[in-house]
Amino acid sequence: MSSEASAVWNECLRVIEQHVSEQSFSTWFKPINPVKLDGTSLTIQVPSQFFYEWLEDNYIQELKLAIKTTLGQSGRLEYAVVVDRGNSSNSPIAVSYPQGNHGNKKTSSQPVQEQKTTPFEMESLGAEALTKSNLNPNYTFNTYIEGDCNRLARSAGFAVATKPGITSFNPLMVYGGVGLGKTHLVQAIGNEIKNGPEDKFVLYVSSEKFVNQFMDSIKDGNVKSFTNFYMQVDVLIIDDIQFLAGKDRTQEMFFHIFNHLHQSKKQIIMTSDCPPRDLKGLEERLLSRFKWGLTADLQMPDFETRVAIIRRKMQSEGIFIPDDVVEYLAYTVDTNVRELEGILISLIAHASLNRVEISLQLAKTVMKNIIKDIETEVGIEFIQKAVSEYYGINQDDLKAKTRKKEIVVARQVAMYFSKEFTNHSLKSIGYHFGGRDHSTVIHAVTTVNDLIETDSTFRNSVNELKKKFKMRSY
Ligand SMILES: Nc1ncnc2c1ncn2[C@@H]1O[C@H](COP(=O)(O)OP(=O)(O)OP(=O)(O)O)[C@@H](O)[C@H]1O
């Protein structure tokens, strides 16, 4: 090792130390050996291919800063990767060169294993590498709106964030449909731990990336460093675990990593698009481990929570949207939160591009453009769906013969609204409710009107539903 190279690298370390945590510094920078200095080009030796890729994915900015500070603008960094063949004492060194320098191979006393570009030429930091843990700093508990839809998962997540690895929620498995906030929640846990008092190595990885890294490690003969790396993590957050289905070798590797982490009281957090019992193509021994901790689901947020999510978003974007528009969006977009956010962003974009105020009319136009088949008119079907959801009954029961009290009330309310909000005749309305005759519809309308007069609880619920239909038929 040249003393010049050492001196330069020591300088670099002083810069890097100021920008990374103590733990990252000892994990990722202490094992590096400076090899040589050639003009303003410093070669450093890293223990494995995996290590090299990790540095490149996660610490490129710090390395760049250190090199430029120490060697000036023309400073360059090159890597020597110790090839992992399971026997490090035998490992040859592969020197890496900048792209475009291939015809000018430098000689090394040991065999050159492969060519690598320098990190500075590969500044393709993926969106994932936003922080050292691959966590998006905006995904916090603070920005994650609480509602009935996520209460259990959120509070379990918070407990885990306070005492990672030592609550009974290990592993914590969060499942739910597309765009319902799984990633946001598990990253909020990660951010909370990372910003907490203890110096924990938190790592977020998508299952897809985990599979790809594992496959690459097989290809490159690096499996050992892959495993060692994952076994060092204090908090492993692995997203969309269903992606491991059918990938037997990766599952086996994950099984070992899981066991090691769990035995060492390290926290494991996973997400999935369905409950563990429905995860097809995953080994039974993995599934049974997933059930050791806590499994919590996320549901579609209810109307109030959707309003709160929109308001939160408005606050973070620094924009104002009138209440009727907020309510309209919250009523209409009930598929998932990502879609709700998407429509909100389109609305903001439309208003600012066309220099118009955000209004209900604009919201409706944007909505029609985005969701082609959106049902903007109130029809009997829509009323039946909304009323049965509101009363928590099966939609088909509105058409069935059943005379159960709660179903009769819901049916009468739905008939009442069908009369008020659609152009269907009494006969047609009766037909849509299991072929009842028009006098049944008249009776329903009269009963509902009477109840509105006499029963305030009933009146409130009818008003709430009415608001929803008015939004549509505006
Ligand atoms: N309760 C919530 N409060 C605030 N924002 C939320 C909430 N739930 C979801 N979001 C937002 O909705 C968007 C989609 O969430 P996220 O990506 O976490 O969903 P997901 O369930 O992981 O989706 P996928 O199934 O596609 O992986 C994100 O922008 C997220 O911030």
ipTM score above 0.95: yes
Pairing of strands 41-46, 33-38: antiparallel
The per-residue pLDDT for 92 is: 29
- Are 271 and 182 spatial neighbours (Cβ–Cβ below 8 Å)? yes
Q: In sequence order, what are the residues at sequence separation of 6 or more whose Cβ sits closer than 8 angstroms to the Cβ of residue 401?
A: 434
Determine which residue's CA is closest to atom 1 belonging to ligand 1. 145
The per-residue pLDDT for 353 is: 75
Q: In sequence order, what are the residues at sequence separation of 6 or more whose Cβ sits closer than 8 angstroms to the Cβ of residue 36?
A: 1, 2, 5, 42, 43
Q: Is the CB of 186 under 6 A from ligand 1?
A: no
Instruction: Report whether pLDDT(187) > 80.
Output: yes
What angle, 0 to 180 degrees and rounded to 10, lies between the N-to-C axes of helices 360-370 and 323-332? 30
Instruction: Report whether pLDDT(103) > 90.
Output: no
Condensed to tens digits (0 to 9), the pLDDT of residues 247-257 reads: 999 999 999 99
Instruction: Report whether pLDDT(270) > 90.
Output: yes
Instruction: Report whether pLDDT(115) > 80.
Output: no
Distance CA 243, CA 427 (A): 52
Report the residue count for the chain: 474
Higher pLDDT, 380 or 119: 380
Q: Is the CB of 150 under 6 A from ligand 1?
A: yes
Instruction: Report whether pLDDT(368) > 80.
Output: no
| Token pair of 103 as six digits | 């015809």
Distance CA 462, CA 307 (A): 20
Q: Is the CB of 471 under 6 A from ligand 1?
A: no
- Are 108 and 79 spatial neighbours (Cβ–Cβ below 8 Å)? no
Q: Is 179 annotated as a binding residue?
A: yes
Among 143, 145, 183, 237, which is best to mutate for testing ligand 1, by the most ligand atoms less than 8 A from CB?
183
Q: Is residue 171 reached through a cis peptide bond, with omega within 30 degrees of 0 on the bond before it?
A: yes
Q: Is 182 annotated as a binding residue?
A: yes
Q: Is the CB of 309 under 6 A from ligand 1?
A: yes
The per-residue pLDDT for 316 is: 82
Q: How far is the CA of 147 from the centre of ligand 1 (A)?
A: 13
Q: Give 101's pLDDT tier (boundaries 50, 70, 90).
A: very low
Q: Is the CB of 337 under 6 A from ligand 1?
A: yes
Average pLDDT, the chain: 84
The per-residue pLDDT for 125 is: 27
Q: Kindly list the structural domains of the chain, giving each domain's residue range(s) and its CATH number in brackets, ordered by start.
A: 3-125 (3.30.300.180), 151-298 (3.40.50.300), 303-362 (1.10.8.60), 380-473 (1.10.1750.10)
How many Cβ atoms from other residues are within 10 Å of residue 228's Cβ? 15
Q: How far is the CA of 178 from the centre of ligand 1 (A)?
A: 8
The per-residue pLDDT for 132 is: 65
Q: How far is the CA of 297 from the centre of ligand 1 (A)?
A: 13
- Following DSSP, what letter does each residue of 335-355 receive, concatenated? S-HHHHHHHHHHHHHHHHHTT
Strand stretches in 244-319, DSSP E: 267-272, 294-298
How many angstroms from the chain centroid is the CA of residue 379? 35
What residues pair up with 95 in beta bridges, in sequence order?
Answer: 80
Q: Is 181 annotated as a binding residue?
A: yes
Cα→Cα distances 336→141, 143, 266, 320, 376, Å: 19, 17, 32, 22, 18
Lowest mean pLDDT among 3-17, 52-66, 124-138, 271-285: 124-138
Q: Is the CB of 145 under 6 A from ligand 1?
A: yes
